[in-house]
Amino acid sequence: MDATGDTTTTPRPGRYTIDPDGSTLSFRTTHVFGLLPVRGTFALRGGSVDVADPLPGSRISAEADAASFRSGNAQRDGAVRSARFLDTAAHPLITFVSEEVDAASVSGTLTVRGVSRPVRLSVVRLDVRADDFTVRATLQVDRTEFGVTASPGMTGRRLDLTLEARCVRG
């Protein structure tokens, strides 16, 4: 609540840092001709959120560690980190930089494996407190648009990503 007792729906203007320990980037896809679900995570390295008033002037940047790909299957995880898929030795970071922000979505550029594409994240939840906020946003990506084309048919083409980021003021 703000000073008047109203519920705050947007964070106070200012700079926030993304807390990697309080944040997650998870994914869901399929394997074996789309028959088996695969779930996993990437570790967020961090980032920043500059909240502006009005909100459309806000800017966001975030980085995930590509080599942190984890699905619970060591053989698959190693294959995905290899040059056939994410090529994490040559492209260690997955990055996002915003271009447009509003209360319901964030548009920007996602870079994976050195390939940049425009994307739009849907904001599905925002919990605001005095000096921090947590946002949950979702996005579906087509891996082939980022040059990740190995194992067509065997490996799901689309990934459903969910970002839950805790952002701390200061």
Assess contact for 60 and 48: CB atoms under 8 A: yes
Instruction: Please list, residue by residue across 134-160, b when 16 or more beta carbons sit within 10 angstroms of its beta carbon and e when fewer do.
Output: bbbbebebebeebebebeeeebbbebe
The pLDDT, as a whole number, for residue 46 is 95
Assess contact for 16 and 168: CB atoms under 8 A: yes
Per the domain annotation, does 127 fall within a domain?
yes
Instruction: Residue 101: give its domain's CATH number.
Output: 2.40.128.110
The pLDDT, as a whole number, for residue 132 is 96
Across the chain, which has 170 residues, the per-10-residue mean pLDDT values are 49 97 95 80 97 96 97 93 95 97 96 97 96 97 92 84 96
Q: Which domain holds residue 105?
A: 14-169
Cα 155 from Cα 113, distance rounded (Å): 17
The pLDDT, as a whole number, for residue 105 is 97
Whole-structure pTM over 0.85, yes or no? yes
- CA dihedral 147→151→152→154, nearest 10 degrees, is -140
Per the domain annotation, does 3 fall within a domain?
no
The number of distinct structural domains making up the chain is 1
Structure tokens at 80: 């995905």
The pLDDT, as a whole number, for residue 5 is 37
